[in-house]
Structure 1
Amino acid sequence: MRAVVVQRFGGPEVLVEAEVPDPVAGPGEVLVRVEVVGVNYADTHTTENTYLAPQQLPLVPGAEVVGRVVACGAGTDAGLLGRRVVALVPTGGYAELAVCPVDSTVEIGEDLPGADACALVLQGVTAWHLLRTSTRMAPGESVVVHSAAGGVGTVAVQLAARWHAGRVIASASTPDKRSLAADLGADVVVDAAAAAEAGAGAVRDLLMSANDGECVDVVLEMTGGDVFNGSYLALAPLGRLVVFGMASRRAGRSIPPVDLMATSRTVAGFWLQAALAHGGLRAAMDELLSMTRAGLLRPVLGGEYALADARLAHEDLRARRTVGKLVLRP
């Protein structure tokens, strides 16, 4: 089969299409002929070996696929054979065939576009957990969504609005991206990354100004640096900030425990793999799929690339030239 193989860690230049042996499904696994592969910002860290889970070479990246089950491993329910599914995989998604754990495989039927399913299973489920599990957003609360035009952000803006946030404040880097966030339901759109060039205080002031001078209740943060620092400063008492990425590749400030006590603020971290280990996929996917089919949630598709163009997809993603969900088609 054809796959994108990483033989050395590095940037987009290490993504090379090659012929490799077909994988074989083991116990508790199914083999899927891939229709579309999701591309995520985390993949850019994986190819550098700078993400949360250490990687080994050679590596086929890719954490989510949509396709049809063509084989079942020993002891696996043969009823999945021939079914169309979306699945999360530890690695191996950038390929014509992928081995998928049954526990992270969801049947989607024939009606849902593959790219839409990819937009939901990792980034959509992440957005769901950021609001439902990590921050426990309540109706009426103000919610800041950074990188609001990205894969997680486009879903999070819609969910926060649908779940009756008091005010959805979206941050994005260009006028077109801010316009998209407004179309998805954001009440106010800003550019926190530009404000961060003037320091954390400028980010705090920008977010509070967007909230009529008040501190904010919930922040979804994946940029790092002074965007994180300023967002923390803008938190209201009992406010919650959840970190789910560090796109700038710059860490934020260290926060002394006494500061958290004095302000009654919460700073949390989120990694989808940890949530999945505690059964965090099914409930989220059931609600996201239901909302999508009912027209209450719109997956935003930002680009489609051939498998051989994985390098270009990563270059576009890292250069912030994209919005929504990117996919590869083997």
Structure 2
Amino acid sequence: MVQTAPTATPSRLAPPGRAARPRAGAVGSLAPSVWRELALIVLFYTGYTLTRLILVQDGTGPAFTHADQILAFERSVGIDVELDLNRMLLEVPWLARAANVFYATAHFAVTLGVVVWVYRRHPAHYRWLRTGIMAATGAALLGFWLYPLAPPRFLEDEGFVDPVTALHSMGLYASDASATLTNQYAAMPSMHAGWALWCGFVLVRLASRRWVRVLGVVYPATTVAVILATANHYVLDAVAGIALTAAALYASRLRYRRTRPERTRRAAAAKTAAAAVAQRQAEAQLHAKARRRGGSASGRRTAGDTCGTAPGIREAGGTPVPSGESSGAR
């Protein structure tokens, strides 16, 4: 007899109660194209850096005037802790070197790592978080332009010491080349503090592991301590960077909350369509395999009908009966 292969059922394609997993490309339904984002980040940061360089062309006189104003105000309200932190750090040379490396690398490496993590693991939140940090960074350029500010490490007459030059350590401005390729008078607001707050906010909000959320609290606090102790920023410009980033995140969240329902519907529709296509492809593959198995089984059974049936036996209605009996006798 011809054996018929069982018809493919959804249970053969995915475990009960579990929808078919979307393809890897389904992340694009929530987050934008990775190449588009890379191009956007490169263009934005290049423009940001070049603009900082252009803004310093008017001279450094106002930057030192503003530094005196900042210190005078902080002393009047009793928050001028930068010099004490700077001296305490220099008393522990290995810690000072570590702080120099942290200041030079974490600002970029940690921020980029968190951006990639959000894009890959939490694409539904990527757009508004990316827009928030870019808006804060763009707005910071106004501060660099309107209020150029010399960092404390340039105020040697006030007692500040640059730990990079004092210890001949690795640092962001350790070489003449790196010092000339950036605006060292762009201290207000501090985007080291602003970007660190953004990273911490993202980790605390989105991370599922407790230790990662703890890092989200520790990292911004460590960054603020480092930028003050290494004499790169003041308390006021750290506060300004944090406030600017918090405001940008809040504004971005409000904007995307209004547009999110429509975007969510489009993303859900695209995800459902991708899952349906994958389901149909899997079913077609199973049916093709079933047809191939059915053809092979039919060939084997036909050979058995001609060669393997015992003499004196015939089939009646598909049931073997002896040739000497009739169907009625039964």
Smaller-chain TM-score range? under 0.3
Higher relative contact order (CA 8 A, sep 6+): 2
In the superposition, the TM-score normalised over structure 2's length comes to 0.22
In the superposition, the TM-score normalised over structure 1's length comes to 0.22
**Comparing both structures, which one devotes a greater share of its residues to helix?**
2
Structure number with greater Rg is: 2
**Comparing both structures, which one devotes a greater share of its residues to strand?**
1
